[in-house]
Amino acid sequence: MFPKLGLIVAFLHVIVNADKSGIPNDSQSPVANEVEDERLNGSIPKTPRLYLACDREKSLLRRHPWIYSGAVDRVEGRVRSGATIDIYDDKGNWLARASWSPLSQIRARVWSFIEDEQIDVNFFLHRLKVAQRLRTSLATRDSLDSYRLISGESDGLPGIVIDRYGDFLVLQLLSSGAEYHRENLLKALKRCYPKCSIYERSDVAVRKKEGLRKTQGVISGDQPPHLLHIREHDMSFLVDIVQGHKTGFYLDQRDGRIAARKYAIGRRVLDCFSYTGGFSVSVMKGGCREVINVDTSQQVLDIAKQNLALNRLDMSRARFVRDDVFQLLRRYREEGETFGMIILDPPKFAENRNQLASACRGYKDINMLAMQLLEPEGILMTFSCSGLMTTDLFQKIIADAALDAKREIQFIEQFRQAADHPVAGAHPEGLYLKGFACRVE
């Protein structure tokens, strides 16, 4: 009798310690009990914690949103790539709530400096609404239907870029934290912009640094047409959001485009790295004598032709040259060509600090060549979109290029990215586009 009773007791013990699937509940093991007791006692946080090394909290106290790997002392708790993690100083004081990027030199990107703010749909809704208020005022002022809606850290949403082209939102998720909160962000976007289609262009190389694959395609709504029609000031443009550079168009150059026309009156203009003709449309509207568009891609030059035609401009005053800009400038110098105005808006020369020295040489070389082709009192509009290139360094490079070109220059106007690409006070790295208009004697 007693052996049977023992079997019954053992059977009941298994039933009591089983979950609903009938599998024994391992949480009742001694180790699991210890972890559970610690969680109940509060010694293991619900949100994982990152503790900074001694005296490494100064940038966070100034609200800079990045935490580099060298500032990290330890991480407590299990945390998935992209998940939320709370930041503490070495004394245990709470500092910020961030996303965890274990594969990046930037180990954490701050979402919030408010301790009771949760990173959920409402968080993204609030950020979107704040950002939209700025863009609405700009769109009204400048007659825009296209603009940058979210500019990453500058709008309190690190790793997230959203450009609006009419009824299309083009999304880029550039960090593991942005990817982790994809669904919360999309829910917020659909609530704020229920009539807009959403297209993703997360096809950029920086995702690899975060351990993410490139991805592209329709998220919701309609498939975009081959070319979207957008409006900017008194100009119209056709934009390819599927295959075009960035999200389709250089929205950040809006101020530069409108400024260029006042310098172009009656001049022969060389537009280098012309892409789809944004500057060319503007200088032709400003009354230039002729404009030559130069790019290595025939596809974008064909769109540039369409953009000039769309704005009903005199095509006989425009030429389109498919060539390498550096080689073409040298050839023009040998042939004795001259121009009244040259626009240099090259792609990024420096992707990282190791490339900065070679980028400086590249900027100096191309600006020197351009100055040698300018007529006396000609205008050079020159830009750098390399975030590592400071404005002061870029200005010095231009001045040095003038010495090598044996030309005297005056800096007459300074440019930066348009206002829909703001720069947060605590994140000066957000200022990536800089440029100058120079009068070349």
Cβ atoms of 438 and 410 within 8 Å: the answer is: yes
Question: Measuring CA to CA, how many Å separate 132 from each of 139, 163, 255, 291?
Answer: 10, 11, 20, 36
How far is Cα of residue 399 from the mean position of the Cα atoms in its chain? 29
DSSP letter (8 states) at residue 222: P
Residue 236: what are its φ and ψ, rounded to 5°?
-125, 145
Cβ atoms of 317 and 290 within 8 Å: the answer is: yes
Based on the residue annotation, tell me whether 192 is a catalytic residue of this protein: no
Helices marked H in 268-312: 278-285, 298-310
Q: Which of 196, 272, 288, 385 is catalytic?
A: 385
Cβ atoms of 74 and 85 within 8 Å: the answer is: no
Query: Where are the extended beta strands (E) located within 113-210?
Result: 146-151, 160-165, 168-173, 197-202
Q: Residue 281's closest CA among 225, 244, 340, 238?
A: 238
Residue 370: what are its φ and ψ, rounded to 5°?
-65, -45
Terminal Cα-to-Cα distance of the chain (whole angstroms): 112
Report d(CA 437, CA 169) in Å as an integer: 33
Cβ atoms of 195 and 169 within 8 Å: the answer is: no
Report d(CA 431, CA 385) in Å as an integer: 9
Question: Measuring CA to CA, how many Å separate 142 from each of 94, 204, 239, 437?
Answer: 43, 30, 18, 22
Helix axes 298-310, 278-285, angle to 10 degrees: 30
How far is Cα of residue 409 from the mean position of the Cα atoms in its chain? 32
Active site residues: 385
